[in-house]
Structure 1
Amino acid sequence: MNPKVDWFFEKEEKWKEEVNELRKIVLECHLTEDLKWGCPCYTYEKKNIVLIHVFKEYCALLFFKGALMKDPKKILIQQTENVQSARQVRFANLKEIKSLETELKKYIFQAVEVEESGKKVALKKTKEYPVPEELTAKFKDNPPLKKAFEALTPGRQRAYILHFSQPKQTQTRESRIEKSIPHILEGKGLNDVNEYLIRKKASKNE
């Protein structure tokens, strides 16, 4: 166990028993525990294998290269149609986790084998994603923003484009873009910002 990850399990209320059980299962597979994107992340030779995260309706194990894994139990879920590589295993209670413990360990070891094989998911290129009209308009009004956005890594660009495109209403899309402009100008990605906010919140609770 990594002490810097303890706060995640200590702060959790709704899914406390469940995430602690998932932590036990993953650590029994001899992975290294770390904190990434504000969540417990487990690595093998510094490569991300699986992550624990929580939502309102469920908690989950997320396999970073789940799209390349075999799924004999049909438990791997694609979170949204835009998620290309990762797959979740979702749980609604502690009983579900315990009933799948043996299978989960097999999936974790399989995920390590996938990582060791060097296989990679063929990701859709950033240029294949349509840029929201609201963002294109901002680029015209703010050339430095366009330059800063284009300087971001393809992954960071994709994350922002998907984040901006999700809302159906123009006003909401514009609001998301406005809030992100300072971070884009600083060269930060969406996940960088989220992790910073989570860490800031955690430090206040210490």
Structure 2
Amino acid sequence: MEEKKKNPWNKTNQWNEELDLLHSIIRTTNLIETTKWGGPVYTYNGKNVLGIGGFKSYFGIWFFNGVFLKDKKNLLINANEENTKSLRQMRFQSKVEIDEKLILEYIKEAIAIEDKGLSIKKEKKETIISDFFKSFLNENPTLKNEFENLTPYKQREYLEFIDTAKQEKTKLARLEKIKPLLAKGKGLNDQYR
């Protein structure tokens, strides 16, 4: 008997039958199934259209450009208002809630959105360097050069690590910790990637 590979997007493994049903519905479309970020994602013309997964209290489908869906039935939610601009989720708590015809309507519309090329452009985050960190960099020209050669994302990781410390002694201890990493031109969290 073939053992099923564990799906990291099925956090509790309590939704296997329900997720299999969603897969079978989605597979009737012209979307291409792939694996991204450790879980199933369906694409169209190389663009992410939707993904599925199970969590503690629900399982569902998320539409990467769901913000553009008409959502006449008010089924879609934004799971993270602060950070999510375009992704929308369709959540279920039981198999009986799955309406194949309705899901296929949403998928058809999501594919049409991809055909139109609709998407929300990512906003570039401005990197703000605190006076404390700026002073440190100015005292260490080699480290400053290495810091400036990092991607903006990696720079923000360092800035957040230093600036979230409340006490100056903690900030100083963190500066000591990052010196060897910066000297090697490495990001703060590179060892975990």
The equivalent of 1:101 in structure 2 is 100
Shift of 1:132: 9.5
Summarize the Cα distance change of 1:11–1:68 in structure 2 as closer, same or farther, 3 Å threshold.
closer
Shift of 1:137: 4.3
For 2:31, give the aligned amino acid.
L
Question: Residues 32 and 42 of structure 1 are in contact (CA less than 8 Å); yes or no, is this contact kept in structure 2?
Answer: yes
| Counterpart-to-counterpart distance in 1, 2:155 and 2:69 | 26
| Counterpart-to-counterpart distance in 2, 1:44 and 1:58 | 26
For 2:108, give the aligned amino acid.
F
* Secondary structure of the corresponding residue to residue 29 of structure 2: coil
For 2:118, give the aligned amino acid.
K
Q: Percent identity?
A: 29
For structure 2, the 5+ residue unaligned runs are 138-142
* Secondary structure of the corresponding residue to residue 19 of structure 1: helix
| Counterpart-to-counterpart distance in 2, 1:33 and 1:139 | 50
Structural RMSD (CA): 3.9
Question: Residues 9 and 16 of structure 1 are in contact (CA less than 8 Å); yes or no, is this contact kept in structure 2?
Answer: no
For 1:91, give the aligned amino acid.
F
What count of residue pairs does the alignment treat as equivalent? 163
Deviates more, 1:9-18 or 1:81-90: 9-18
For 2:35, give the aligned amino acid.
L
| Counterpart-to-counterpart distance in 1, 2:84 and 2:128 | 17
Summarize the Cα distance change of 1:40–1:132 in structure 2 as closer, same or farther, 3 Å threshold.
farther
1:148 and 2:166 equivalent?
no
The equivalent of 2:49 in structure 1 is 49
Q: Relative contact order: is structure 1 or structure 2 higher (C-alpha 8 Å, sep ≥ 6)?
A: 1
The equivalent of 1:114 in structure 2 is 113
| Counterpart-to-counterpart distance in 1, 2:79 and 2:19 | 19
1:7 and 2:8 equivalent?
no
Shift of 1:59: 1.4
More helix by share: 1
Summarize the Cα distance change of 1:41–1:148 in structure 2 as closer, same or farther, 3 Å threshold.
same
Shift of 1:149: 3.2
- Detail structure 1 runs of 4+ shifted over 2 Å in the superposition: 8-13, 122-125, 130-133, 136-147, 184-189
Shift of 1:54: 2.4
Q: TM-score, normalised by structure 2?
A: 0.66
* Secondary structure of the corresponding residue to residue 79 of structure 1: coil
Question: Residues 58 and 90 of structure 1 are in contact (CA less than 8 Å); yes or no, is this contact kept in structure 2?
Answer: yes
The equivalent of 1:69 in structure 2 is 69
For structure 1, the 5+ residue unaligned runs are 1-5, 194-206
Question: Residues 8 and 38 of structure 2 are in contact (CA less than 8 Å); yes or no, is this contact kept in structure 1?
Answer: no
The equivalent of 2:140 in structure 1 is none
Shift of 1:187: 10
Deviates more, 1:115-124 or 1:141-150: 141-150
| Counterpart-to-counterpart distance in 1, 2:109 and 2:186 | 40
Question: Residues 139 and 145 of structure 1 are in contact (CA less than 8 Å); yes or no, is this contact kept in structure 2?
Answer: no
